[in-house]
Amino acid sequence: MTIGVGLVGYGLAAKVFHAPLVASVAGLALRSVVSSDAAKVHADLPGMRVVPDLAAMLADASIDLVVIATPDALHAEQAIVALDAGRHVVVDKPFALTLTDAQAVVDAGDRAGRMVSVFHNRRWDADFVTLRRLIGEGVLGEVMQVESHFDRFRPHVAERWREHAGAGVWNDLGPHLIDQALVLFGMPERVTADLAIQRAGGKAPDYAHVTLAYPQLRVVLHASMTMPAGALRFAVHGMLGSWVKHGLDPQEAALRAGALPGTPGWGIDPVAAELSLVGADGAVESRPIACDAGDYRAFYAGVAASIGGEGANPVPVAQALDVMRVLEAARRSASEGRSVAL
């Protein structure tokens, strides 16, 4: 069975992530792209069918799966149209602008009897795969404190939709940080957030510092555009040891450079983490530990299996809705200056 895929939008997310990942997974075939710039698409995908709008794509009966990779404000509307037309849907993060809109997409999927999944690809980062294994194996003991960072140095506000009012770093990077935390620890009891605009001329938050509170555990999610030395990715501390990782998973950089997913060395992070364990005598010993391999292809392989009735949805909508709940709770916390219970 070959699943025909239509890609809506051809910006960064579509060009760097979705198109090459779809092309790399057996059972999926990219057959159509919605774009107003056919030349841009054909520069990367010669001969690809380019159509002007979603309606034209949905008129093609060979399209089974629609991937929504447009600006955030269009996600819910376009996903619902595709579902109402009987297509399966993958939505790039964030799922939607609001929890209400995301729930409307889920309801449309239920009515249509079609799969809906959200592209939380960072579940397959090399460092996160490693951390998930270490926690699952109990290597760190009971985890008490986590810092999870996506920090960058972009001191000047760019002219792009992600910098416009209603968008910003929390909408862009927050879903990744939240999803990873919920995969590891489930829903928190409350959320406390500080969202700010730090750069001159900014229209959307470029700083986010959000604490997820569990009974004992505290998880700090941090994203900033003003960090020249923002290399820390994870700092995880448990009762038996700590695990600290610097540097980002290499897959995005490889995709941006035009590397093909699955080529030799794919998903291997060259930067080792530091594992510090408490010995029987109470002394702490540290050593470098290599990360397990990551692989974003696992998301689309899971999507193909789910549509074919051979596997589970890799990102079930119930989990994606929980991400939206935390995303919204943080915005409310920041605006009201208080913790918000979940």
pTM: 0.95
Based on the fold, state whether residues 79 and 180 are members of the same structural domain.
no
| Residue 57: closest CA among 98, 7, 94, 95 | 7
Please say if the pLDDT value at position 35 is more than 70: yes
Do 178 and 198 have their domain in common? Answer: yes
Q: Are residues 284 and 305 in the same domain?
A: no
Q: What is the pLDDT of residues 121-173, one digit of tens each?
A: 999 999 999 999 999 999 999 999 999 999 988 788 777 656 666 668 999 99
Residue-wise pLDDT for 78-94, tens only, equals: 999 999 999 999 999 99
Judgement on whether residues 130 and 274 belong to the same structural domain of the protein: yes
Nearest to 289 by CA among 301, 298, 277, 302: 277
Q: Please check the confidence at residue 183 and state whether its pLDDT lies above 70.
A: yes
Do 186 and 167 fall into the same domain?
yes
Residue 257 domain-assigned (yes or no): no
Asked if 22 and 61 sit in the same domain, the reply is: yes
**Does 152 lie in the same domain as 10?**
no
Query: What pLDDT score does 168 carry?
Result: 86
Percentage of residues in the chain with pLDDT exceeding 90?
Answer: 90
SS3 56: helix
In this prediction, residue 210 carries a pLDDT of: 98
Interval 5-10 mean pLDDT: 98
228 within a domain of the structure (yes/no)? yes
**Given this model, what pLDDT does residue 161 score?**
57
Q: Which domain holds residue 115?
A: 3-120+299-311
118: nearest Cα among 333, 288, 324, 275: 324
Kindly state whether residues 337 and 223 are assigned to the same domain.
yes
| CATH number of residue 91's parent domain | 3.40.50.720
pLDDT tens per residue, range 90-108? 999 999 999 999 999 999 9
What DSSP string describes 197-244?
--STT--S--EEEEEEE-SS-EEEEEEESB-TT--EEEEEEESSEEEE
Nearest C-alpha neighbor of 17 from the set 46, 44, 52: 44
Q: Is the pLDDT of residue 224 over 80?
A: yes
Lowest mean pLDDT segment, chosen from 75-84, 224-233, 289-298? 224-233
How far from 191 is each of 224, 225, 235, 271, 325, CA to CA, in Å?
18, 22, 19, 32, 10
Residue 316 located in a structural domain: no
Looking up tokens 């569990």 gives 214
Same domain, 107 and 145: no
- Residue 191, domain CATH: 3.30.360.10
CB 60 within 8 A of CB 5: no
Residues 149 and 79 in one domain: no
Token reading at 236? 């995880």
How many independent structural domains does the chain possess? 2
Residue 23 lies in a domain: yes
Q: What is the mean pLDDT of residues 234-263?
A: 97
Residue 254 lies in a domain: no
